[in-house]
Amino acid sequence: MTSIHLKSAWDHIRRSPFQAIAAVFVLATTFFVATMLAILVYSSSQAIKYFETRPQVIAFIKDNVTSEKISLLQNKLISDMRVKDVRYVSKDEALEIYKNATSDKPLLSELVSPDIFPASLEFSLNDLSFAESVIEEIKKEDIVDEVGFTANLGGESTLSDVVGRLRKITWYLRVGGGIYVTIQLGVSFLVLMIIIGMRMSTRKEEIQILDLIGATSSFIRSPIILEAIIYAISGVFIGWLIALILVLYTTPTVISYFAEIPVLPKDTSYLFYLLGLILLAELFLGILLALIGSMIALLRSRKNK
Amino acid sequence: MLELKGITKSFGKIKALEDINFNVEKGEFVFITGPSGAGKTTIIRLILRELLPDQGEIILAGRDITKLPSKQIPYLRQKIGTIFQDFKVLPEKTVRENIEMALAVCGVNQEEWKDRVIDVLKMVGLKKRHSLFPSQLSGGELQRLSMARALAINPKIVLADEPTGNLDWDTADLIMDLFQKINSEGRTVIMATHHELIIKKYAQRIIELKEGRVVKDTASKKEIQPKKDIESQDINKSE
């Protein structure tokens, strides 16, 4: 039975190709933007996660402190639920880090010895809101000389600034992008409704005949709803495919630009998994849009009968 | 099989039908005749539940269809084979697809479609035209397609509203032969027509309408005089 409805839907599409193209084009544009926005939101979330999980607090240890006392503080921090990724950095390791950081200027590393670098305990916070209380507590420890919150980034921004900014950008992206996609979805919805409404008008005679020979309303509705679903699936797939091509084309450049910040998955299968999830969500949304749009158009046409 | 009891129907101030009463038995061939505007089509539309009467009952297969909920109307229509004066075939579907659509509407199993389509097309003589569109058919062929569609669903009752109205005599005669054949298979046929030659040649039972009233029903073997005639006779008598 479905085949006769599918055939009817396909016949209607074939007989008015420009209406079909308009519907698919609008839907494809909407879902292209939606796919790109979903990827941008994913990337910014990944960037936030990356910065949030970097060592955020460095407790510099006074000179001549015994390793037992350092271990004691390290264990205390490990057992603290607010804190994660606790790591001890010895004076020698601190010198190594310095040397790596100044590898392009060997003269600078030659002038220093491990003695001038304090040993430290580096750790991250599960949430940046714990920063103040944790820092205050650790400052009171006898063996702690100084507490640094933040590693300097670019010499001007603290880590919290970066995270704060990223969060703001992500928020704007989500809200702005969300509003834009909602408007686009609204336009697609209206276009679908108009096209289905036009289809109903052109099929008026056919609908009357079907009604007279005993077609139920679900029988009359089926090809119209199927037609809307065909538009939605085609629009979603085309929009998603264009976004996929764009993402695949730019991924190597993006990954090399952001280096260790994992804004896009480096593993191709995971990238496809992510895009597959986006496609599924969009198909669901597209079909929902088609169903609601066609049902409203049908109800309106029945009211106007 | 079908009974109309005290049916009255008005369109605004115009009374289309007034106190219509008749029975149609299973396997009967009934002609509803009368001049244009007599109410023939209104009766067909009432039986199809396109319209609701202002008063009265229409009992079809033991059920008053005037009380049928709207959702049940399609199932009523699926049991009736209807043939229209203006054919009402789907213009964008081929002959075969038109019949298949009727079968799909009635929920006939798709495996049965092929045989049923061939059977009805053979019966109406359109087998060679199965792939043509309605615009490629003549008036007589269109009416035969309309008949094939109505018969494909294997109805117990066939309603025909002026089926020969748009056809020349020879074609109309051919169509009437088909109706006789349908009736001889045991199907009840109710045909609205004002085609006098056809009535003379084929009529078995005639229900004649005039100004919305039954003035003659050959089944009851008596002529019912129109109200006006009765009134004028009364006046003459009193004179």
SS3 for B91-129 is CCCCHHHHHHHHHHHCCCCHHHHHHHHHHHHHHHCCHHH
With CB atoms and an 8 Å threshold, state whether A212 touches B88. yes
Q: Which of residues 185-214 of A touch B (CB under 8 A)?
A: 205-206, 208-214
Q: Which of residues 163-182 of B touch A (CB under 8 A)?
A: none
Confidence check: pLDDT of B235 > 50: no
Residues A157, A54: Cα–Cα separation, whole Å: 15
Q: What is the per-residue pLDDT across A25-45, written as a single tens digit (0 to 9) for each?
A: 999 999 999 999 899 888 888
Please report the pLDDT score of residue A305 as a whole number: 55
Nearest to B77 among A15, A208, A213 (CB): A213
Other C-beta atoms within 10 Å of A104: how many? Answer: 6
With CB atoms and an 8 Å threshold, state whether A219 touches B89. no
Q: Looking at beta carbons, which residues of chain A come within 8 Å of B74?
A: 211, 214-217, 219
Q: Looking at beta carbons, which residues of chain B come within 8 Å of A213?
A: 77-78, 82, 88, 101-102, 105, 149
Residues B37, B13: one domain? yes
| Residue A191, CB-side half-sphere exposure with 13 Å CA sphere | 22
Count of all residues that appear for chain B in the document: 239
Of all residues in chain A, the percent with pLDDT exceeding 70 is 90
Q: Closest-CA residue in chain B for A8?
A: B93
Give the list of residues 6+ apart from residue B176 with CB closer than 8 angstroms, or none: B164, B198, B201, B202
pLDDT bucket at B231, cuts 50 / 70 / 90: very low
With CB atoms and an 8 Å threshold, state whether B78 touches A214. yes
Please report the pLDDT score of residue A280 as a whole number: 96
* B140-to-A232, B69, B86, B145, B147 alpha-carbon distances in Å: 43, 36, 11, 9, 11
Answer with the residue of higher pLDDT: A274 or B85.
Answer: A274
Residues B63, B98: one domain? no
ipTM: 0.85
User: Where in chain A are all domains bearing CATH 3.30.70.3040?
Assistant: 55-149
Nearest to A1 among B48, B90, B110 (CB): B110
Question: What is the number of structural domains in chain B?
Answer: 2
Q: Are A48 and A167 in contact (CB under 8 A)?
A: yes
Domain around B141: 88-155
Instruction: Tell me if chain B has a CB within 8 Å of the CB of A10.
Output: no
Q: Looking at beta carbons, which residues of chain A come within 8 Å of B77?
A: 212-214
Residues A249, A301: Cα–Cα separation, whole Å: 46
| CATH pick for A55-149 out of 3.30.70.3040, 3.40.50.2000, 3.30.300.30, 3.30.160.150 | 3.30.70.3040
pLDDT bucket at B234, cuts 50 / 70 / 90: very low
Answer with the residue of higher pLDDT: B218 or A115.
Answer: B218
With CB atoms and an 8 Å threshold, state whether B110 touches A212. no
Nearest to A213 among B100, B105, B110 (CB): B105
Residues B8, B57: one domain? yes
In A37-138, DSSP assigns E strands to: 57-61, 83-89, 120-125
CATH number of the domain within which B64 lies: 3.40.50.300
With CB atoms and an 8 Å threshold, state whether B105 touches A210. yes
Other C-beta atoms within 10 Å of B27: how many? Answer: 14
Q: Is the pTM of this model over 0.90?
A: no
Please report the pLDDT score of residue B32 as a whole number: 93
Q: What is the per-residue pLDDT across B64-83, written as a single tens digit (0 to 9) for each?
A: 999 999 899 999 999 999 99
Residues B160, B52: one domain? yes
Question: Could you tell me if residue B124 is inside a domain?
Answer: yes
Q: Which of residues 108-127 of B touch A (CB under 8 A)?
A: 110
Instruction: Tell me if chain A has a CB within 8 Å of the CB of B86.
Output: no
Q: 3-state DSSP helix/strand/coil percent for chain A, to nearest 5?
A: 75, 10, 20
Please report the pLDDT score of residue A302 as a whole number: 66
Instruction: Dig out the tokens for A6 from the structure.
Output: 């599918």
Residue A41's φ and ψ, nearest 5 degrees, are: -65, -40
Residues B21, B73: one domain? yes
Nearest to A1 among B74, B84, B104 (CB): B104
Instruction: Tell me if chain B has a CB within 8 Å of the CB of A63.
Output: no
Question: Could you tell me if residue B176 is inside a domain?
Answer: no
Q: Are B157 and B65 in contact (CB under 8 A)?
A: no
Residues B62, B161: one domain? yes
Q: Looking at beta carbons, which residues of chain B come within 8 Å of A206?
A: 90-92
With CB atoms and an 8 Å threshold, state whether B88 touches A209. yes
Residues B50, B1: one domain? yes
Q: Looking at beta carbons, which residues of chain B come within 8 Å of A4?
A: 100-101, 104
With CB atoms and an 8 Å threshold, state whether A214 touches B104. no
Confidence check: pLDDT of A282 > 90: yes
Answer with the residue of higher pLDDT: A185 or A101.
Answer: A185
Of A201-205, B25-29, B41-45, B158-162, the range with the lowest mean pLDDT is A201-205
CA distance A44 to chain B (A): 53
Residues B67, B161: one domain? yes
